[in-house]
Amino acid sequence: MYTAIIKNGTIVDGTGDTSYVADIGIVKNKIEKIGDLSDANGDVIIDAKGKIITPGFIDPHSHADLNIHFNPENLANLHQGITTFVGGNCGMSVAPIGEKRNQDTWDEYYIKDSIVSSYYDVMPSKIETKKYFKAYQEVLGKDITYSDLSSFYSLVKKEKIATNYCPLVGHNNLRLLVLGDDANREATEEEVNKMKAILKEELSQGALGLSTGLDYPPGAFASKEEVLELASVLKDFNGIYSSHIRGRMLFVNGEGGYDVIGGIKEVINIGKKHDVKVHISHLVGMGQEKEILALINQAIEEGVNLSFDVISNVTGGGSTFYGLMTLLRPWFNVAGTTEQLLKNLRDVSYREYVIKDMQTSKWFYTNEKALPGIESAVLIIKCKEEQYLNKTVKDIMDEFDLNYQEVLLRIIEADPHTKMKYGRAPQKELFKNLMIFMNHEMGMPSTDTFSANFDTMFGGKAPMDMLPHQNNFCAFTHYLMNMKSPTIEETIRKSTGLVAERFGIDRRGLLKEGHFADVLVIDMEALDTNESLLDTRQKPAGITHVFVNGMLTIKDSEYIGSKAGNVLLKECDYHE
């Protein structure tokens, strides 16, 4: 007697091998039998005729661990077929933590009133850990206290989650734990050795590897020698080094300077020096795609064990700007309310001060010199003043012969609830460039998103609230529809078996007897992202059934309440 039988579907098993028609029999949490089960009985029987059966998708670049205790269902992942996510990316993991921790996107939304003394104050970049846990206990009504990854695993397992979570150790966490408030500098040899000891402990608790975010403080202040030395620990644990590379963003150590090539070379050097698996997170080319591809191919030919992921959409980010007012966050925070900000701007001298401040601000969304092309990236999609509707800020600048800052203020004054779409690159060109990497045999799709449900909001109280980015809900659906490989077998391999092999995720990513039953039923003809500019929180179509650890979780495209996810560790005892 099978727990579940999936019959008559076309099996695409995650290996890249030719697909075939067969049935799958599940017993408890594992695949018991693949073959002809026409005479077998099961508690649940699903007819997958005309559909494909695949392993559950594995997201190699997620930040869902950071807020999984808010949204343990993680419906955004499930409905696009993601059954397992790799967390702790970009140098940011939930643990280990010391006396202070970095602020996250949703902290301002959920706990600002508990952290700061006045509504007019800005959330600090680092929050006292005790105060952080106390604030969230008040908001969530439950204790989420932890210190290291092991205690976080216990917390997650106790609460129960709907998707599987694979942890990496964040470099930023190690720096904050050892260097404390003085983390924005190079570490001493003694401090590096302390970080290595903590890293070893976390890896021994089952973490899959080390992640860095070398454009984010405090990791951006680490020397190449520091990172190289930390990565030396990985070999003994067969761990992976996964990196948001240095020089991918505009600000490095507080100063401008793109250097994607240099960042990739740093990753390659780590792979060469220590003979460990290395992985480049959310790879982009910035016009250097051919040079980057040649560099990667040369490294692989020379024996570097290298892979990379690509955000499977032309836009990225865990959250997305929704209201135009969010671009004026610092000045809104000073005012405290929309009404007060509009009143302040009617003062001519203050208005002139604000414009000058916007032009020189480190808040680079108002400074086109700090963020080139920002004026063309902001599209007005909802506004009471129709003359601004469906135009970019650059269009309006040209039409009225005004500078960027003045246009932002005029639109806000006309309608402070104006909605926008934000995207910094021409989509057709960016899509073409991303496909150069996605088509590579070692490239894989990713989301770069958080844990979200269909009522989730980020960022702060209106009008400072932000929507989860649409990739939270449909990145892998977009991949299947628009960024797929020439064959369905290769398309599925890159989003399942390849990821499991690279990150060392045991008995996942393949449809094989004895493997864990993370299984999807997909109607390829019905795939649709259902994206909306005005509300990103849309359920995609096409993923009709999802099994997580053998438990049916999505049935006929609807979530049925199961929480069968697990924390997947290296060399650990799995729940049988």
Domains of the chain as residue ranges with CATH: 2-55+503-559 (2.30.40.10), 104-145 (no CATH), 324-417 (no CATH)
For the whole model, what pTM was predicted? Answer: 0.92
Q: 2-11 and 42-47: which strand pairing?
A: parallel
- Which has more pLDDT, 433 or 140? 433
d(CA 236, CA 86): 21
pLDDT at 573: 39
What percentage of the chain exceeds 90 in pLDDT?
Answer: 72
- Across 271-285, 415-429, 559-573, least confident range: 415-429
Mean pLDDT of all residues in 48-60? 98
When pLDDT is averaged across residues 466-476 and rounded to a whole number, the result is 91
Q: How far apart are CA 204 and CA 286, in angstroms?
A: 38
pLDDT of residue 23: 98
Report the distance separating Cα 314 and Cα 130, nearest Å.
Answer: 39
Over residues 351-381, the pLDDT tens digits come to: 999 999 999 877 778 988 877 888 998 999 9
Quote the pLDDT of residue 389: 95
Cβ-defined contacts of 290-299 (< 8 Å, 24+): 290/436, 291/261, 292/260, 292/261, 292/264, 292/437, 293/436, 293/437, 293/440, 295/261, 295/264, 295/265, 295/268, 296/264, 296/440, 296/442, 299/268, 299/271, 299/272
What percentage of the chain has pLDDT greater than the value 70?
93
In this predicted structure, the answer to whether residue 253 has a pLDDT above a threshold of 50 is no
Residues 518, 547 contacting (CB under 8 angstroms): yes
H/E segment holding residue 59: strand 57-59
CB atoms within 10 A of CB 558: 10
- CB of 167 closer than 8 Å to CB of 85: no
Q: How confident is the model at residue 109 (pLDDT cuts 50, 70, 90)?
A: low
- Min mean pLDDT across 95-104, 405-414, 429-438 is at 95-104
Q: At residue 252, does pLDDT exceed 50?
A: no
Per-residue DSSP letter, 92: -
Helix (H, G, I), strand (E, B) or coil at 241: strand
pLDDT of residue 364: 75
Residue 119 pLDDT more than 60?
no
Confidence (pLDDT) at 106: 64
Q: Pick the range with the lowest mean pLDDT from 280-294, 324-338, 533-547.
A: 324-338
pLDDT value for 121 = 52
| Tokens matching residue 124 | 């600090």
Q: What is the pLDDT of residue 576?
A: 35
Strand partners, 252: 255
108 vs 76, residue with greater confidence: 76
pLDDT band at 108 (very low <50, low <70, confident <90, very high): low
Averaging pLDDT over each range in 135-139, 405-409, 467-471, 568-572, which range is the top one?
Answer: 405-409
Report pLDDT digits (tens) over 196-243. 999 999 999 999 999 999 998 899 999 999 999 999 999 999 999 999
Phi-psi region of 287 (alpha: psi -120 to 50; beta: other; left: phi over 0): left
pLDDT at 24: 98
Would you say residue 469 has pLDDT above 70? yes
Greater pLDDT, 514 or 336: 514
Terminal C-alpha separation, the chain: 17
User: What's the pLDDT score for residue 69?
Assistant: 86
Q: How confident is the model at residue 120 (pLDDT cuts 50, 70, 90)?
A: very low
Would you mind telling me the total number of residues written for the chain in this entry? Answer: 576
**pLDDT score of 112:** 65
| pLDDT of 105 | 62
C-alpha distances out from residue 307 to 243, 297, 338, 476, Å: 11, 10, 47, 18
Position 331 pLDDT exceeds 50:
yes
Report phi then psi at 445, rounded to 5: -75, 150
Contact between residue 552 and residue 517 where contact means Cβ atoms under 8 Å apart: no
| Mean per-residue pLDDT, 263-282 | 98
Q: How confident is the model at residue 575 (pLDDT cuts 50, 70, 90)?
A: very low
345 pLDDT tier (thresholds 50, 70, 90): very high
What average pLDDT score do residues 255-276 get? 89
Asked which of 29-33, 79-83, 252-256, 404-408 is least confident by mean pLDDT, the reply is 252-256
